[in-house]
């Protein structure tokens, strides 16, 4: 599987590069630029007292951002929202940062969208991340797309930057099969990020890269569908790329 996955990963990366070049050439929708997308937020993070203010980052989604490990145990301090908080504090030591998790284990994006305005917007987020694709396999692509669009459009209407996450890995998925639902949902999220010109963290690509580089998928998983700390450490640095220090 590793050999075929390595070839599949290389083909995917080549396709992404060609697609990005085509988008740039034709001025078509593309994922936001990590170096500038959150420039206003980064400016706030670099300010020191008394001119700074609290920056709120809200991580919305299912069990993975909630920190579930081997169910029912929750290791929130090993999950990427907390690792993001630690990384931002190291990068911006004068900043006041809240990383607020509104994730619920077992939830899919329709449920997340239904409570989005009640649970997320009152927190006055400066940035929102959305991570539902693992569980969206239970509702299918069409229903998931409508729910993701609803959440994205609510954020954009409020001028809140949003970062979409493709799913983390699942041991039961066929990572080298583009027709596997996990890959299909990941591709849909990539397309949504490009269409709306918002942020994207391609978590699934990082897990595939780990395997294609010779890693054993089981070593980054707490159970079949939940990453352990090592798995979350594949995601957190990709999120941090959206907060470059000037």
Q: What is the DSSP string of the chain?
A: -HHHHHHHHHHHHHHHHHHHHHHHHHT---PPPTTTTTHHHHHHHH--TTS---EEEEEEESHHHHTB-STT-B-GGGSHHHHHHHHHHHH-TT--EEEEE---TT--HHHHHHTHHHHTGGG--SEEEEE-HHHHTTTHHHHHHHHHHHHHHHHHHTT--EEEE-----TTS-TT-TTSHHHHHHHHHHHHHHHHT-EEE-HHHHHHHHHHTT--GGGGEEETTEE-HHHHHHHHHHHHTTS---
Instruction: Say whether pLDDT at 25 is over 50.
Output: no
Mean pLDDT value of segment 205-211: 98
pLDDT 10s digits, 62-81: 999 999 999 999 999 999 99
Could you check whether the bond before residue 50 is cis, i.e. omega within 30 degrees of 0? yes
Mean pLDDT of 133-160: 98
- Of all residues in the chain, the percent with pLDDT exceeding 90 is 87
Give the residue-averaged pLDDT of 206-233. Answer: 97
Distance, in Å, from the CA atom of 177 to the CA atom of 174, rounded to the nearest integer, reads 5
Q: What is residue 174's predicted lDDT score, i.e. its pLDDT? A: 96
Q: Which two tokens stand for residue 91?
A: 């990068």
Provide the pLDDT confidence category of residue 127 given band limits of 50, 70 and 90: very high
Q: Is the pLDDT of residue 152 over 50?
A: yes
Phi, psi of 88 (to 5 degrees): -65, -40
The pLDDT value given to residue 13: 47
Residue 101 or 11, more confident = 101
Residue closest to 236 by CA, chosen among 57, 22, 73: 57
User: Residue 202 is encoded by which pair of tokens?
Assistant: 């391609």
Q: How high is the pLDDT of residue 133?
A: 98
Q: Which residues contact 115 (CB under 8 A, 6 or more apart)?
A: none
Which two structure tokens, joined as six digits, stand for 121? 């917007």
pLDDT at 197 exceeding the cut of 80: yes
Give the integer Cα–Cα distance in Å for 135 and 226.
Answer: 11
Q: Return the structure tokens found at 114.
A: 């239904």
Average model confidence (pLDDT) across the chain: 92
Q: Considering only residues 2 and 97, tell me which one the structure prediction assigns the higher pLDDT.
A: 97
Residue 5's pLDDT band, with cuts at 50, 70 and 90, is low
Q: What is the pLDDT of residue 26?
A: 54
- State the pLDDT at residue 29: 82
Indicate the pLDDT class of residue 6, thresholds 50, 70 and 90.
low
Residue pointed to by tokens 């911006």:
92
Q: Give the pLDDT band of residue 51 (cuts 50, 70, 90).
A: very high
Q: What per-residue confidence (pLDDT) applies to 246?
A: 75
Domains in the chain and their CATH numbers? 2-9+34-240 (3.40.50.1110)
Whole-angstrom distance, CA of residue 23 vs CA of residue 160: 24
**pLDDT surpasses 50 at 10:** no
CA distance 229 to 62: 16
Indicate whether 167 pLDDT > 70. Answer: yes
Give the Å distances, CA to CA, from 129 to 18, 120, 162.
Answer: 27, 11, 6
């Amino acid at each position: 599987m590793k050999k075929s996955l390595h070839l599949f990963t290389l083909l995917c990366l080549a396709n992404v590069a060609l697609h990005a070049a085509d988008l740039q050439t034709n001025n078509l929708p593309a994922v936001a630029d990590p170096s500038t997308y959150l420039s206003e937020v980064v400016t706030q993070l670099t300010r020191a007292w008394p001119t700074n203010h609290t920056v709120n980052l809200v991580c919305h989604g299912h069990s993975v951002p909630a920190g579930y490990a081997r169910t029912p145990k929750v290791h929130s301090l090993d999950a990427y929202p907390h690792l993001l908080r630690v990384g931002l504090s190291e990068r911006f030591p004068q900043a006041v940062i809240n990383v607020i998790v509104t994730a619920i284990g077992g939830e899919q994006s329709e449920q997340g969208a239904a409570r989005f305005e009640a649970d997320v917007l009152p927190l006055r987020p400066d940035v929102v991340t959305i991570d539902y694709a693992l569980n969206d396999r239970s509702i299918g692509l069409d229903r998931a797309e409508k729910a993701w669009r609803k959440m994205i459009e609510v954020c954009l209407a409020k001028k809140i930057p949003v970062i979409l996450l493709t799913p983390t890995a699942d041991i039961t998925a066929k990572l080298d099969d583009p027709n596997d639902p996990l890959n299909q949902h990941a591709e849909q999220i990539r397309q949504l990020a490009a269409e709306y010109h918002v942020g994207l963290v391609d978590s699934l690509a990082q897990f595939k890269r780990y395997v294609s580089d010779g890693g054993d998928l089981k070593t980054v998983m707490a159970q079949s569908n939940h990453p352990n700390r090592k798995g979350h450490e594949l995601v957190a640095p990709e999120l941090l790329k959206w907060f470059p220090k000037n």
